Amino acid sequence: MAHQRMNTLDRELSARLAEIRRAGLERRLRRLDSPQGPQIVVGGRRLVNFASNDYLGLANHPAVKEAAAKAVADFGAGAGAARLVCGSQALHQQLDEQLAAFKGTEAALSFSSGYATALGTVPALVSRGDVVIVDKLAHACLIDAARLSGATLRVFAHNDLKDLEAKLRWATGGAAGKQPRVLVVTESLFSMDGDVAPLRELVELKDRYGAWLLLDEAHATGLYGARGRGLAEACGGADRIEVQMGTLSKALGAAGGYIAGSRVLIDYLIHRARSFMFSTAPVPAAVAAASAALQILQSAEGQQRRAQLWARVDRARQTLAKLGWPLAEPPSPILPLRVGSEARAVAWAEQLWAQGIFLPAIRYPTVARGQARLRLSVSAAHTAADLDQLEAALAGVGQPALSVGDASAG
Ligand SMILES: *Cc1c(COP(=O)(O)O)cnc(C)c1O
């Protein structure tokens, strides 16, 4: 086949890709030939999967799949239009009501993804002349949303209340009558570190300065709190959080995102959240899957799955402690093994792969440079044998002591 001459864009991009490769940051899409679950088939090999966010094993749950299939039969494959046009089917309305009931808020609004939720919501609430203060380790979609809003962006050190207060003082320090609107944005359970925000103190602080709070519970929804609502429920301050965000794509095993809050907030977002207004409604199958997962979450089976998850988390923590890995408190299903160097993280992931464990390296730009890690995540669907296999495989790779030194040096 004749080799086509590269145009100038492609030439430029291949130089950039070469740079990425040189830095040890090349990525490749791996093809999965199985459903999501504790065991997956990749490249013809069956591996135990410790990389998924399907914490409760709902992504391939029979009742969730059945609900999705029934939605296709009843409502079709596509939604046809944005919800404000003619795409707002009974299923969408039902999901929003279900979400509000689940979160214990007046109202809720679902979006096609968690990413779209952030991108639509933050710019709807603040704009030029306002201030957004974001945790240093907040998810990319929260940073992008803050930038897109046009508000002045300030970043506070991760979970650092002193630094947050300094930024709040700065933001609200102007002359009376010239006070900007201030929105604080953070996560409850952090996606790559598995640690949690000091929510009680954070809520106190933002109230003291008259700021608003958007709390992203992407990884905590379904796992924490007496009813599985998330960490805001567990901490007891949910009713003082103006904007509660989450996804339907992690513990709920489906796809989509949501905002839960007051009726006024939701009414306003319907008018101003552009990712909601100008994007086709989520497909019936995804909406019905999320609905079914929400039902399971709130049933006896949901309780049982949560209990099972926490038992598996305990077991994984014992393994890590035995091997000398530091652990975060309180426990979470996200257990980062901080390796430090990108090359070593990739090498360890390959060693684990050879032993039947799927636990790929997480590198820049998902985390900072020199802070590469293996992000171990545990699911209720893992068996005791899966965790035995993990322990045996981890015992064979490198020493944590080495890597901790690395991380602090970098
Ligand atoms: C995954 C994630 C999102 C994005 O959700 P999607 O539904 O995958 O688009 C948003 N916020 C956080 C903290 C996340 O981890």
Q: What is the pLDDT of residues 194-232, one digit of tens each?
A: 999 999 999 999 999 999 999 999 999 999 999 999 999
Q: What is the per-residue pLDDT across 119-145, written as a single tens digit (0 to 9) for each?
A: 999 999 999 999 999 999 999 999 999
Q: Quote the ligand 1 centre to 175 CA distance (angstroms).
A: 37
Ligand 1 centre and the CA of 401: distance in Å?
31
At residue 283, φ and ψ (nearest 5 deg) are -70, 150
The CA-CA-CA angle for residues 247, 266, 65, to 5°, reads: 35
Find all residues with CB under 8 Å of 154, minimum gap 6, and list them: 131, 132, 133, 134, 167, 170, 171
Q: Which residues line ligand 1 (CB under 6 A)?
A: 113-115, 139, 141, 187, 191, 216, 218-219, 247, 249, 257
Q: Determine phi and psi for 328, rounding to 5 degrees.
A: -85, 155
- Region 346-363: mean pLDDT is 94
3 pLDDT band, cuts 50/70/90, is low
Residue nearest to atom 3 of ligand 1 (CA): 114
From the CA of 297, how far away is ligand 1's center (Å)? 19
Which atom of ligand 1 has the smallest separation from the CA of 219? 15
Question: Measured between alpha carbons, how far is 4 from 238 in angstroms, rounded to an integer?
Answer: 58
Tens digits of per-residue pLDDT, 160-191?
999 999 999 999 987 766 788 999 999 999 99
Atom from ligand 1 closest to the CA of residue 53: 1
Instruction: List the residue whose alpha carbon is closest to atom 7 of ligand 1.
Output: 114
CA of 255 to the centre of ligand 1 (A): 10
What is the pTM assigned to this prediction?
0.95
In this structure, are residues 298 and 138 in contact, taking their beta carbons and an 8 Å threshold? Answer: no
Residues ≥6 apart with Cβ < 8 Å to 1: none
Told to judge if 191 belongs to the known catalytic residues of this protein, a careful annotator would answer yes
217, 243, 249, 275, best to mutate for ligand 1 pocket (most atoms within 8 Å of CB): 249
Instruction: Give the three-state DSSP class for 99.
Output: helix
Q: Which atom of ligand 1 is nearest to the CA of 255?
A: 7
Separation of first and last alpha carbons in the chain: 46
Question: Exactly one of 250, 275, 341, 377 is catalytic; which is it?
Answer: 250
Share of the chain above pLDDT 90, in %: 90
User: Which two three-digit tokens encode residue 43?
Assistant: 């490249």
The C-alpha angle with vertex 377 and arms to 376 and 381, in degrees rounded to 5, equals 135
pLDDT for res 177: 66
Q: Is the confidence at residue 404, as pLDDT, over 70?
A: no
Catalytic (active site) residue 291: no
Closest CA to 93 of 311, 363, 346, 282: 282
Tokens of 141: 């979609």
Q: What percent of the chain has pLDDT over 70?
A: 96
Question: What confidence tier does 398 reach under pLDDT thresholds 50, 70, 90?
Answer: confident
Q: Find where tokens 């001459």 sit.
A: 5
Report how far residue 325's alpha carbon sits from residue 321's, in angstroms, rounded to the nearest whole number. 5
Tell me how far apart the alpha carbons of residues 210 and 197 are, in angstroms, rounded to a whole number.
Answer: 19
Catalytic residue among 149, 191, 249, 291: 191
Distance from the alpha carbon of residue 54 to the mean position of ligand 1, in angstroms: 13
Question: What CA–CA distances, in Å, run from 51 to 103, 303, 349?
Answer: 27, 23, 11
Burial of 5 (0-12, 13-18, 19+ CB in 10 A): exposed
Catalytic (active site) residue 52:
no
Please give the full DSSP string across 317-335, using - where no structure is assigned. Answer: HHHHHHTT----SS--SEE
Give the Cα-Cα-Cα angle 376, 381, 387 (nearest 5 degrees). Answer: 50
Mutate to test the pocket of ligand 1, among 111, 113, 122, 139 (most ligand atoms within 8 A of CB): 139
CA 111 – ligand 1 centroid, Å: 12
Q: Which pLDDT does position 230 carry in this prediction?
A: 97
Phi, psi of 302 (to 5 degrees): -60, -45
26: Cβ contacts below 8 Å, ≥ 6 apart: 17, 20
Nearest to 189 by CA among 250, 243, 121, 264: 250
Taking the centre of ligand 1 as the mean of its atom positions, its distance from the CA of residue 249, in whole angstroms, is 8
Residue 341 φ/ψ, nearest 5 degrees: -75, 140
For residue 198, count other CB atoms closer than 10 A to its CB: 15
Q: What is the pLDDT of residues 219-274, one digit of tens each?
A: 999 999 999 999 999 999 899 999 999 999 999 999 999 999 999 999 999 999 99
- How far apart CA 2 and CA 235 sit, in angstroms, is 64
Cα(340)–Cα(337) distance, integer angstroms: 9
CA distance 110 to 333: 25
Element (H, E) at 203: helix 199-208
Q: Looking at 206, 219, 291, 382, which residue is catalytic?
A: 219
CA distance 120 to 131: 17
Work out which ligand 1 atom sits closest to the CA atom of 190. 13
